């Protein structure tokens, strides 16, 4: 069970949003590379990064910050990156720069063939980000909600060789409301692709919840605001999860 600390990038800084609203951003660190090193020092082995500006723009907007993180902590952290990555050229460029896994979100809905091609050419290095509002897939930095059910989109990649599905309940993201366990576990049981829970992880109680038998179907969970605010003790959390 992997606990992924999150770095969301806006204007080159580490921020957290509330329910994906760019106007509801709290800055936690102006130096993403230093924050990544801090996470590595805490004992984390993975880092979840999202270029928020890029997600809205459809292309990289915080590339220099990502590169700084890779240079500073890439030898200690496996980095998964999403946000505005919508072409094979962008995917290959980030993989070559040292990103372990590229996350495709909007592209998964708009251009599923790209996901399949990327996963085929880069085994184990492509994840699909499924962000849902009331069970429906949201895209373009969560600005648009589609008619596609999250479970249906996940199922469509069952045979594509996707390494993981990162499932975010937008209504719980950044508000410390707790993970939507029912929907997340139902998704994990619906597909054979490993599922990572995102959105709402609020306290050590959620870490304990990850150790329950029905959560065994999950690959892990992403922690953002709760980790930055000190609501989760990283050492205690990692000790609990590493014991599984």
* pLDDT tens readout for residues 60-118: 999 999 999 999 999 999 999 999 999 999 999 999 999 999 999 989 999 999 999 99
State the catalytic residues. Answer: 8, 131
Asked if residue 67 lies in contact with residue 97, where contact means CB atoms within 8 angstroms, the answer is yes
**Tens digits of residue pLDDT in 14-59:** 998 876 677 778 999 999 999 999 999 999 999 999 999 998 888 8
Instruction: Give every CB contact of residue 238 below 8 A, 6+ residues apart in sequence.
Output: 3, 42, 43, 44
Please state, in angstroms and rounded to a whole number, the distance separating the CA atoms of residues 198 and 20.
12
Report CA Rg, the chain. Answer: 16
Whole-model pTM: value is 0.94
DSSP state of 83: S
pLDDT in tens, 163-213: 999 998 887 665 567 788 999 999 999 999 999 999 889 899 999 999 999
């Amino acid at each position: 069970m992997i606990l992924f600390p999150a770095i969301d990038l806006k204007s080159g800084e580490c921020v957290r949003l509330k329910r994906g609203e760019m106007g509801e951003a709290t800055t936690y660190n102006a130096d993403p590379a230093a924050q990544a090193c801090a996470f590595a020092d805490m004992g984390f082995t993975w880092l979840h990064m999202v270029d928020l500006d890029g997600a809205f723009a459809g292309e990289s907007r915080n590339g220099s910050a990502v590169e700084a993180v890779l240079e500073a902590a890439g030898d200690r952290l496996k980095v998964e990156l999403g946000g505005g990555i919508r072409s094979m050229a962008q995917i290959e460029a980030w993989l070559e720069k040292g990103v372990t896994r590229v996350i495709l979100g909007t592209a998964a809905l708009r251009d599923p063939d790209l996901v399949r091609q990327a996963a085929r050419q880069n085994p184990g290095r492509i994840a699909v980000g499924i962000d849902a509002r009331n069970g429906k897939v949201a895209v373009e930095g969560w600005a648009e909600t589609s008619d596609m059910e999250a479970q249906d989109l996940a199922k469509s990649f069952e045979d594509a060789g996707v390494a993981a599905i990162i499932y975010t309940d937008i209504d719980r993201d950044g508000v410390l409301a707790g993970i939507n366990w029912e929907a997340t576990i139902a998704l994990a049981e619906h597909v054979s692709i490993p599922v990572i829970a995102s959105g709402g992880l609020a306290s050590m109680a959620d870490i304990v919840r990850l150790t329950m038998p029905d959560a065994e179907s999950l690959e892990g969970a992403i922690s953002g605001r709760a980790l930055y605010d000190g609501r989760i003790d990283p050492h205690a959390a990692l000790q609990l999860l590493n014991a599984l």
